[in-house]
């Protein structure tokens, strides 16, 4: 292309972009316009997803939509012409479906094309026809009046849905306290992000957060409260929608009605939540164009004035126009905590991960904004989604700056920093104190490493290991004294620190478990299960002892009793563990089949520290446990009441065989084990401890 032609194309493109930005709902003056233009000229990156879209063809190949006698969700799609987009939208719904029962209602707003005749042939579709043009608001309200579902999902006809689009929005109402409105992550057809929730400034201007950026950036992949979500895809309970009298007719025919609805929801005390796992492709501008001076689009400026008048008092509490986007997106005043751990937690990997995930869930429940970073600054896509599902922002390569740069940027927003494990806390404590001096520093030991090392040294008689343990003790105690609060998981360790470091502020935050309950009874169960990965040395020793000395005594008398080994067991270690009756499953995504199907969990640990998640996990399912004394330490357990204890191979095997055939004993241990979880390892117990450990804030 000649230079002159290239410049002409650039100028035309620039002019087009300026028109597009000027006509957008997200104006913020010259600074915002410049940012938008810069974003448009960015190269499309390799991280952007390849979207499989339905073709925009008006040819009507027969297809049907799912139907249900009792739909839980009513999907309401207002249309005015643009038949090809409507058909593609409906085909995407038919293709992806949903787990929840739903119905689809299309409101034909006096379309000038063949919309009514073509859509009337689609099986499973409820088609409503307005006698005259009512506009977007009137059509949405008409669809809501005909809806049967307990939840309404308003969807533009210039959208296409993806897997999980509907079910993930429903998750917000089931998993987030006081959710009133939930909205999707909107993607452009070329894969760029269109909206990750919206910000409203004090002058009533709006901003679509993340516009033109990569939808794979973790800062857009976690659930959070937001000022509003786009009406292109939003869900609300039908009862609340009716209580708010639907979309306000003062904004007819369209524009600002979704922002107004969000403010109305918030005025009732309920929350507006952005849900990144609900992904919807939106062909923005197809329905109403982009020219502020013509058609329906001209009502954007008119309705902004109406919105400003109606919500004058609420807008006074919104961020000022010109505020930075990153500060504005978190203007709700929630206290902010950074958590640094060795690895990004994965609940299927180890009990420490499960504890950390549940602590972060509790922090969010207590009103905190949570940011997490692994010491290696990495996180898999799966781990990012796991954290995003509980409302946690994961910092990781290549998206985030270095920890030092991030701390310097966020220093004024941080009320607390939690450093997990001594080998993570030691190199990061000085940085945190220097860059974010006002943040309260919490040291989460996970377990006292020096205590575990001392016990391992005594167990093996290794003098070099004993010297390393003594060095670890000095370093770990120094960290405990240097931090504002220290968390331990066991009352034994809390008592130990009261002697070793009496000046330290030590709180007990043990393992945190849901109570799954006993879902299978004694007679329907069989076999034994051990859970524990080889990344933890005590597990390596325990499995070898179990396989070499304990299980052969059981198998010799009762060969029908199998043993299941679950955990990250490397291939090189498996040949030594492969013996008759033993099944090695390795790492599994879900422990429930073994927790519900096995008759006994075994925990033959001979050294270690802290509280053993494998014991807690089994008891949370009502699965009785045979364990050593060290495996039961710090858990308020009593032999014969809620656990069976044994410290040598013969006694351990005998206890397993006794319990395997004694249904009354089995049931007593099951019931009392569940009681132990409720009393000592529940969310309520951890919540109270976290409240004591965290700094006082206005929102907690």
- Which helix H or strand E contains 207, and what residues bound it? strand 206-208
Q: Are strands 151-155 and 193-195 parallel, antiparallel or unpaired?
A: unpaired
**What residues contact 570, with CB distance under 8 A and at least 6 apart?**
534
Separation CA 305–CA 87 (nearest Å) = 35
* Predicted local confidence at residue 58, as pLDDT: 63
Other CB atoms within a 10 A radius of the CB of residue 112 amount to 8
Q: d(Cα 638, Cα 677) in Å, to the nearest integer?
A: 14
Distance of CA 586 to the CA centre of its chain: 25
- DSSP annotation of 524 reads G
Q: Would you kindly state where each structural domain of the chain is located, as residue ranges? A: 73-328, 336-508, 522-681
Q: What is the largest CA-CA distance in the chain?
A: 90
**Matching fold, domains 336-508 and 522-681:** yes
What per-residue confidence (pLDDT) applies to 472? 87
Q: Round to whole Å and give the CA distance between 249 and 254.
A: 9
What the block records as the tokens of 337 is 């905590």
Q: Is 661 exposed, middle or buried (0-12, 13-18, 19+ CB in 10 A)?
A: exposed
**How many separate helices (H) and strands (E) can be counted in the chain?**
27, 25
CB atoms within 10 A of CB 238: 16
**CATH superfamily to which 522-681 belongs:** Glycogen Phosphorylase B; (3.40.50.2000)
Select from 474, 484, 528 the least CA-distant residue to 505: 484
Give the class (CATH, top level) of 336-508.
alpha beta
pTM: 0.84
Q: State the fold for domain 73-328.
A: Spore Coat Polysaccharide Biosynthesis Protein SpsA; Chain A (3.90.550)
3 contacts: CB under 8 Å, gap ≥ 6: none
Give per-10-residue mean pLDDT for the chain (700 aa). Answer: 38 44 40 45 49 79 91 97 94 96 97 93 95 93 97 97 97 97 96 95 94 95 97 98 96 90 97 98 70 61 92 95 88 94 88 91 95 96 96 96 95 95 95 96 91 86 89 92 94 92 93 92 97 89 96 97 95 92 93 97 91 93 97 93 97 98 98 95 89 75
Q: Give which of 201, 171, 203, 174 is closest to 184, Cα–Cα.
A: 171
Using CB atoms within 10 A of its CB, is residue 174 exposed (0-12), middle (13-18) or buried (19+)?
A: exposed
pLDDT value of position 533: 86
Q: What is the DSSP letter of 435?
A: H
Question: What does the DSSP assignment read for 56-83?
Answer: --------B----SS-SEEEEEEESS-H
Secondary structure element (H or E) that encloses residue 344, with its range: none
């Amino acid at each position: 292309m000649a230079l002159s032609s290239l410049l002409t194309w650039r100028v035309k493109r620039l002019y087009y972009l300026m028109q597009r930005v000027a006509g957008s709902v997200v104006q913020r003056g010259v600074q915002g316009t410049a940012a938008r233009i810069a974003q448009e000229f960015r190269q499309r990156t390799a991280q952007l997803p390849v979207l499989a879209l339905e073709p925009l063809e008006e040819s009507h190949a027969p297809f049907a939509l799912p139907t249900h006698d009792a739909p839980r969700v009513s999907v309401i799609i207002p249309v005015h012409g643009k038949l090809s987009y409507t058909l593609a939208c409906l085909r995407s719904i038919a293709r992806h479906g949903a787990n929840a029962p739903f119905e689809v209602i299309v409101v034909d707003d006096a379309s000038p094309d063949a919309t009514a005749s073509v859509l009337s042939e689609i099986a499973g579709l409820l088609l409503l026809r307005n006698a005259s043009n009512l506009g977007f608001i009137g059509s949405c309200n008409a669809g809501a009046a005909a809806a049967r579902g307990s939840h309404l999902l308003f969807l533009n006809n210039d959208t296409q849905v993806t897997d999980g689009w509907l079910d993930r929005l429903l998750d917000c109402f089931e998993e987030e306290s006081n959710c009133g409105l939930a909205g999707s992550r909107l993607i452009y057809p070329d894969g760029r992000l269109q909206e990750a929730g919206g910000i409203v400034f004090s002058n009533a201007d709006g901003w679509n957060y993340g516009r033109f950026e990569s939808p794979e950036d973790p800062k857009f992949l976690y659930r959070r409260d937001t000022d509003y979500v786009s009406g292109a895809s939003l869900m609300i309970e039908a009862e609340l929608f009716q209580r708010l009298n639907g979309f306000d007719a003062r904004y007819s025919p369209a524009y600002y009605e979704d922002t107004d609805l969000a403010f109305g929801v918030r005025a009732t005390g309920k929350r507006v939540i952005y849900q990144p796992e609900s992904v919807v492709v939106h062909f923005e501008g197809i329905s109403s164009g982009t020219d502020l001076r013509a058609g329906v689009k001209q009502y954007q400026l008119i309705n902004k004035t109406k919105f400003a008048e109606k919500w004058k008092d609420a807008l006074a509490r919104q961020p000022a126009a010109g505020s930075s986007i990153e500060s504005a997106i978190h203007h709700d005043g929630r206290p902010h905590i950074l958590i640094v751990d060795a690895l990004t937690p994965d609940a299927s990997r180890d009990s420490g991960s499960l504890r950390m995930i549940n602590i972060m869930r509790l922090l969010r429940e207590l009103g905190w904004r949570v940011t997490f970073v692994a010491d290696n600054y990495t996180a898999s896509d799966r781990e990012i989604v796991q954290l995003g599902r509980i409302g946690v922002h994961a910092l990781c390569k290549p998206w985030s700056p270095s920890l030092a740069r991030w701390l310097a940027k966020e220093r004024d927003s941080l009320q607390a920093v939690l450093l997990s494990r001594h080998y993570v806390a030691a190199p990061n404590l000085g940085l945190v104190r220097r860059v974010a001096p006002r943040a309260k520093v919490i040291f989460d030991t996970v377990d006292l490493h020096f205590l575990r090392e001392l016990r391992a040294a005594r167990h093996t008689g290794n003098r070099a290991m004993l010297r390393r343990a003594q060095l670890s003790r000095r370093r770990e105690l120094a960290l405990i004294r240097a931090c504002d609060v220290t968390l331990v998981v066991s009352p034994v360790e809390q008592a130990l620190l009261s002697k070793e470091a009496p000046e330290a502020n030590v709180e007990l935050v043990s393992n945190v478990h849901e109570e799954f309950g006993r879902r299978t009874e004694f007679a329907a169960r069989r076999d034994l299960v051990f859970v524990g990965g080889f990344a933890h040395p005590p597990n390596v020793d325990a499995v070898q002892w179990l396989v070499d000395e304990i299980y052969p005594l059981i198998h010799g008398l009762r060969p029908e009793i199998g043993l299941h080994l679950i955990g990250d067991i490397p291939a090189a270690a498996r040949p030594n563990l492969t013996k008759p009756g033993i099944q090695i499953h390795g790492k599994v995504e879900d422990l429930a089949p073994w927790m519900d199907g096995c008759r006994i969990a075994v925990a033959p640990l001979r050294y270690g520290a802290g509280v053993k998640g494998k014991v807690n996990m089994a008891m949370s399912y009502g699965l009785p446990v045979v364990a050593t004394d060290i495996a039961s330490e710090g858990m308020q357990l009593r032999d014969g009441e809620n656990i069976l204890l044994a410290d040598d191979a013969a006694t351990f095997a005998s206890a397993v065989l006794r319990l395997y055939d004694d249904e009354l004993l089995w049931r007593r241990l099951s019931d009392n084990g569940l009681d132990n979880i409720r009393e000592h390892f529940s969310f309520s117990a951890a919540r109270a401890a976290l409240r004591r450990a965290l700094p006082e804030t206005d929102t907690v």
